[in-house]
Amino acid sequence: MSLPSILENQIKSGDIHHAYIFEGPLTADKEKVARSFAMALLCRVEPGTGCGSCATCRKIKDGNHLDVNLLRAEPSKYSKVLSVRDEAVDQMIERLKVKPSEGDRNIAIICDGDTMTPRAANRLLKTLEEPPVGTVIVILSENMNNLPDTIRSRCQHIRIISESNPDGKYTEKARKVVELLAGYNNYSSIKKEIDKIESTKEEAFVFLDSMEDAYREELLKISSSIKRDQIFKAVSEIEIARNKIKRNINVKYTLKSMVLAIGG
């Protein structure tokens, strides 16, 4: 798979940062991008891009390359709530202090980075402040506002887009809904737009990502007709809607109550 162009350019110029946050919605395969990045950095057959089929690339794909540490949220002995375990972060930090055994870099990929405890984040921060030479740490996050400021400020932020929405299936519709909401249009015209979206979870996530992108575009405009407060409120309502849909609450009902909350 192709990497975001900003990463490709950094690899070409040799200007690799030691820490990144790959931020993107649930529907964006951030882990796949992180693995491709690791291949591009470690593959010797096609350095800079990764051949995808040599021993190094295959090990990275299968998750058993000794120099690529992958951390994931897990349940604990005491709780079923999934989170990146403190012990796992401690082990990873120790591992990064040891020389790489196969290539010339140690890479750590922290999936579900949003779920790190404050203690784990704090330990990680020390490593981000003084990273061992050649180390690359990639934190995957659905919403980087869930990570402490101190971590965010030490990582380069890369936005990962959803592959299920490559040609912006809902981009126009989302922009229209955002415009209608900003213009205080009556609810029935917005409801009509929502009714045209398929009621599956996957479609809803793609639509919500497009809504968030539409609001982020407004933030970047020099003068937007939407107030910043309103944009932040909308983005947080979109996040609430995502969480409801993840908990299997009815898609259409959730989308409609979201637009009411944003407009209200």
Q: List contacts with Zn ion (CB under 5 A).
A: 43, 45, 51, 54, 57
Q: Residue 92 Cβ, how far from Zn ion at the closest point, in Å? A: 24
- The radius of gyration computed from the CA coordinates of the chain, to the nearest angstrom, equals 20
Q: Residue 6 Cβ, how far from Zn ion at the closest point, in Å? A: 22
Round to whole Å and give the CA distance between 173 and 193: 7
Beta bridge partners of 71: 110
Rank residues 52 and 132 by Cβ distance to Zn ion and give the closer one: 52
Which ranges of the chain would DSSP assign to H, the alpha helix? 5-13, 30-42, 55-62, 86-97, 118-129, 149-152, 171-182, 187-195, 201-220, 228-246, 251-263
Rank residues 26 and 51 by Cβ distance to Zn ion and give the closer one: 51
User: Do 207 and 196 form a contact (C-beta atoms < 8 A)?
Assistant: no
Rank residues 50 and 113 by Cβ distance to Zn ion and give the closer one: 50
Q: Residue 95 Cβ, how far from Zn ion at the closest point, in Å? A: 22
**Phi/psi of residue 137, nearest 5 degrees:** -110, 125
Q: Residue 166 Cβ, how far from Zn ion at the closest point, in Å? A: 25
Round to whole Å and give the CA distance between 95 and 65: 13
Q: Residue 58 Cβ, how far from Zn ion at the closest point, in Å? A: 8
Which ranges of 27-135 would DSSP assign to H, the alpha helix? 30-42, 55-62, 86-97, 118-129
Question: How many helices (H) and strands (E) in the chain?
Answer: 11, 5
Rank residues 53 and 225 by Cβ distance to Zn ion and give the closer one: 53
Rank residues 43 and 138 by Cβ distance to Zn ion and give the closer one: 43
Residue 19 tokens read as 């820490």
Rank residues 45 and 161 by Cβ distance to Zn ion and give the closer one: 45
Q: Residue 55 Cβ, how far from Zn ion at the closest point, in Å? A: 8
